[in-house]
Amino acid sequence: MSKPFSKQLGSTLAHLQDLVDTVFHGLLKSKNGKKKHKVITNIQDAGEAYYETYTNIKKGNGKK
């Protein structure tokens, strides 16, 4: 028995969102060596804080 279209669509969109989150997190974590540029470092730090909070929310833990 197959899933209704709406459930398949919702599941597919959730998987795509998870993929985008994983790629985004990977890009934020890829710091090339030492921290050299303050603006880039701040963006990476903000992104890391966002991703950590978002992951906790997805897990149902709420905020730290």
- Residue 24 in this model has a pLDDT that exceeds 60: yes
pTM: 0.51
State the average pLDDT over residues 3-21: 87
Q: Does residue 64 fall inside a structural domain? A: no
Distance, in Å, from the CA atom of 62 to the CA atom of 64, rounded to the nearest integer, reads 7
Q: Does residue 21 fall inside a structural domain? A: yes
Q: Does residue 40 fall inside a structural domain? A: yes
Domain count, the chain: 1
31 vs 40, residue with greater confidence: 40
- Residue 18 in this model has a pLDDT that exceeds 70: yes
Which two three-digit tokens encode residue 49?
């804080």
Nearest to 18 by CA among 55, 56, 44: 55
